[in-house]
Amino acid sequence: MHAAGDDDEEGRVGLLHGIGGPADLKALPAARLPELAEEIRGFLVDEVSRTGGHLGPNLGVVELTIALHRVFDSPRDAIVFDTGHQSYVHKLLTGRHDFSALRKEGGLSGYPSRAESVHDVVENSHASTSLSWAHGIAAGRVVRGERDRHTVAVIGDGALTGGMAWEALNNIAAEDDLPLVLVVNDNERSYAPTRGGLADHLTTLRTTRGYERFLGWGKSTVSRAPVFGGAMYETLHGMKKGLKDIVAPQGMFEDLGLKYVGPVDGHDEQAVEVALRRARSYGGPVLVHVLTQKGRGYEHAVNDEGDQFHAVGVINPETGLPLEIAGRSWTDEFADTMVDIGREREDVVAITAAMMIPVGLQPFCTNYPERTFDVGIAEQHAMTMAAGLAFSGLHPVVAVYATFLNRAFDQLLMDCALHGAGVTIVLDRSGVTGPDGASHHGMWDMTITGVVPGLHLAAPRDGQQVSRAVREAVAIDDAPSVVRFPKGSVAEPIEAVRVEGGVDVLAEPDEGDVDVLLVGVGSMAATALTAAEKLAAEGHRVRVVDPVWALPVPDAVVTMARAASRVAVVEDNVVAGGIGSQVTAALREADVEVPVDTMGLPKRFLDHASRGQVLDAVGLTPDAVADRLRARLA
């Protein structure tokens, strides 16, 4: 082992350089830990400012992560990070020091990754799952007779607003002898400040003088809370005053039957160690409440009243300002449109799940705060609440990342669609998102929504079409409507001729029969258009269309297919069950006998890389599309 912290002629060797794993960390004298924490924060600011990534969350958990690895024996003891974007310190302490290609092709993932290390357990970066994972791991080890192995779940107060977390808590509380420690990393934020009844309750625990005596101690109780389903808890969480009045500040977790330790100063490493060691020795489930500060040690993050540098691009570490201005984004187009619609229609309201800033609803909230609802990390509740708002005579717009629609499918199907609710769902970050990897690619939404009866889905091809699509969506009052667009800067506007049936024609052959009807869905319209230009230069007659509203498949697409020798659909959704499949089914039902080529994302989880690199790897570039069609036309 390298002698961490030894002096030399030039001064002290960096402590982090000597940490190749938890054993090295445990060998470090406690007096040197503040120095190590400071070094880690400097490393994170320097490295993440070059690559982009989740800076604020990791700056806030430095001491907590050090304490976790000094008290527990990873990987024998499993440490599960909820969401996982706060795992950079964990990566450093388990020997992964090369952050030069963080979140880039071939580099470290921005989340835990089993392929990187045996210390990483859960790769899925969707929130509120860690307690269920930890319950399963701990219970499984007990069944196998491995009672001497501990399981630790680290969950933020933001993720604790999700109903799934409370389903897990309800079940964990019924287990008296599970070697399980639940660490609530309470920084009062998810992206932005945590809202709702739980947030109020944790604030009370932070400020109630009587609980100060429990710093690192706590007590056990035997009472049990009623069984809460996830959606039920999410609803209670939204009923701010009601939850606070029902439960006394000191009783919420203890009434569930959980031993409670805290609150503990999460930046006092020794205090955190004491709390964790007491929890570890208890022998049953214990909740440790740790208070941290998001962005700790970096003034630009701490002073940011928005998301406190939750996720950043490449920035100047001295100023905290971005080095490159990306230009206008798809989200910007949506944000401006919502403000305009809000001014024109008093019945339009907005809902988001703890992502007011990332999905572009902050300007709407600023202008119409009484018509804006942030329900916390509770997509299920958001969707069913939207159905209720629609029933009351309003038109709700639910804005979430495309990958998080997965979590609210049942509510979309049974609460919105079954009841003919006029609800608009806006899906940001659809398709290939790039550096966040498999769990954040928004590649499932068109397959999921494609099975929902009566649902309408639009995929704008450029920024100008975002505004048009959202306006058309909020005009639908008898069924769910979806508008989806990708991450990043908007594409250049593509001129088109809208024909009867609502389909936009982007390119027409000069004369003769159509060899290929090429359907470009959403942002892939530009790819389809460039591929068509390559084929046209070789003498092939290609008509390129944007279906505008891809679901249900427009009649005009079916009509145009009758006049073509073959049809090809290009989309940035998983090809299985995507728009290509929907077009194929529509043609079959209309007795149109024409071959269909479906070009989309393969049915597998795609690694982190830039959007361009991922699309190139799966054959969704203009050259690859042209090559595939050229082979069919030969």
Q: Note the pLDDT tens digit of each residue in 45-69.
A: 888 888 887 888 888 899 999 999 9
Is 289 labeled as ligand-binding?
no
Residues 134, 244 share a domain: yes
**Does residue 248 register a pLDDT over 60?**
no
Residues 591, 561 share a domain: yes
Q: Which residue has the tokens 């230069």?
A: 537
**Does residue 145 register a pLDDT over 50?**
yes
Residues 435, 402 share a domain: yes
Task: Enter the pTM of the model.
Answer: 0.79
309 inside domain: no
Q: Nearest to residue 200, comparing CAs of 164, 246, 163?
A: 246
pLDDT above 70 covers a percentage of the chain that reads: 83
Any idea what the CATH number is for the domain that residue 431 is in?
A: 3.40.50.970
Q: Note the pLDDT tens digit of each residue in 488-516.
A: 888 889 999 999 888 999 999 987 789 99
Tell me how many degrees the CA angle 56-58-62 measures, rounded to the nearest 5: 125
The predicted structure's pLDDT at residue 354: 87
The parent domain of residue 475 ranges over 330-484
Average pLDDT over the chain, rounded to whole?
84
CA–CA dist 484, 429 (Å, integer): 8
CA–CA dist 343, 101 (Å, integer): 45
Q: Note the pLDDT tens digit of each residue in 381-423.
A: 999 999 999 999 999 999 999 989 999 999 999 999 999 999 9
Helix (H, G, I), strand (E, B) or coil at 399: strand
Residues 168, 26 share a domain: yes
Look at residues 439, 462, 484 and tell me which one is the last residue of a structural domain.
484
Q: Note the pLDDT tens digit of each residue in 179-218.
A: 999 999 988 754 455 555 555 555 555 555 333 333 333 3
The predicted structure's pLDDT at residue 217: 32
Determine how β-strand 395-401 pairs with β-strand 424-428: parallel
526 inside domain: yes
Report the domain count for the chain.
3
164 inside domain: yes
Of the listed ranges 112-121, 209-218, 237-246, the one predicted with least confidence: 209-218
Q: Which residue has the tokens 């795609």?
A: 606
Is 117 labeled as ligand-binding?
no
Omega cis (within 30) before 263 = yes
Instruction: For residues 98-103, give the mean pLDDT.
Output: 87
Q: Which residue has the tokens 């030969």?
A: 634
Instruction: For residues 80-93, give the mean pLDDT.
Output: 90
492 inside domain: no
* 3-state SS, one letter per residue, for 507-529: ECCCCCCEEEEEEECHHHHHHHH
Of the listed ranges 238-252, 411-425, 585-599, the one predicted with least confidence: 238-252
CA–CA dist 612, 432 (Å, integer): 9
Is 187 labeled as ligand-binding?
yes
Residues 226, 344 share a domain: no
Residues 341, 286 share a domain: no
Q: Comparing 522 with 442, which gets the higher pLDDT?
A: 522
Q: Are 32 and 39 in contact (CB under 8 A)?
A: no
Q: Are 601 and 572 in contact (CB under 8 A)?
A: yes
Q: Are 505 and 481 in contact (CB under 8 A)?
A: no
Residues 337, 381 share a domain: yes
Is 125 labeled as ligand-binding?
yes
Look at residues 426, 455, 484 and tell me which one is the last residue of a structural domain.
484
**Does residue 596 register a pLDDT over 50?**
yes
Any idea what the CATH number is for the domain that residue 611 is in?
A: 3.40.50.920
Residues 187, 51 share a domain: yes
Residues 283, 168 share a domain: yes
Residues 451, 526 share a domain: no
The letter for the amino acid at 75 is P
Is 157 labeled as ligand-binding?
yes
Half-sphere exposure at residue 439, Cβ-oriented, CA atoms within 13 angstroms: 16
Strand order in the sheet with 424-428: 372-374, 348-352, 395-401, 424-428, 481-484, 456-458, 549-551
The predicted structure's pLDDT at residue 108: 86
Residue 251 pLDDT level (bands cut at 50, 70, 90): low
447 inside domain: yes
| CA of residue 175 relative to chain centroid, distance | 31
Rg of the chain over Cα atoms, rounded to whole angstroms, equals 26
The predicted structure's pLDDT at residue 603: 92
DSSP per-residue letters across 107-161: S--SS--TTT-TT-------TT-HHHHHHHHHHHHHHTT-TT--EEEEEETTGGG
Q: Comparing 299 with 368, which gets the higher pLDDT?
A: 368
Instruction: For residues 334-356, give the mean pLDDT.
Output: 96
Q: Comparing 366 with 251, which gets the higher pLDDT?
A: 366
DSSP per-residue letters across 54-95: --HHHHTTHHHHHHHHHHS-TTTSEEEESSSTT-HHHHHHTT
The predicted structure's pLDDT at residue 215: 33
Q: Nearest to residue 92, comparing CAs of 182, 170, 162, 22?
A: 22
Q: Are 315 and 56 in contact (CB under 8 A)?
A: no
Is 85 labeled as ligand-binding?
yes
Residues 229, 99 share a domain: yes
Q: Nearest to residue 178, comparing CAs of 275, 282, 105?
A: 282
216 inside domain: yes
Is 577 labeled as ligand-binding?
no
Look at residues 454, 484, 514 and tell me which one is the last residue of a structural domain.
484
1 inside domain: no
Is 158 labeled as ligand-binding?
yes
**Does residue 479 register a pLDDT over 90?**
yes
Residues 591, 458 share a domain: no
| CA of residue 254 relative to chain centroid, distance | 31
Is 298 labeled as ligand-binding?
yes
Q: Note the pLDDT tens digit of each residue in 294-340.
A: 878 666 666 666 554 566 666 666 656 666 656 789 999 999 999 99
Is 401 labeled as ligand-binding?
no
Catalytic residue positions, numbered = 294, 379, 407
310 inside domain: no
CA–CA dist 626, 619 (Å, integer): 10
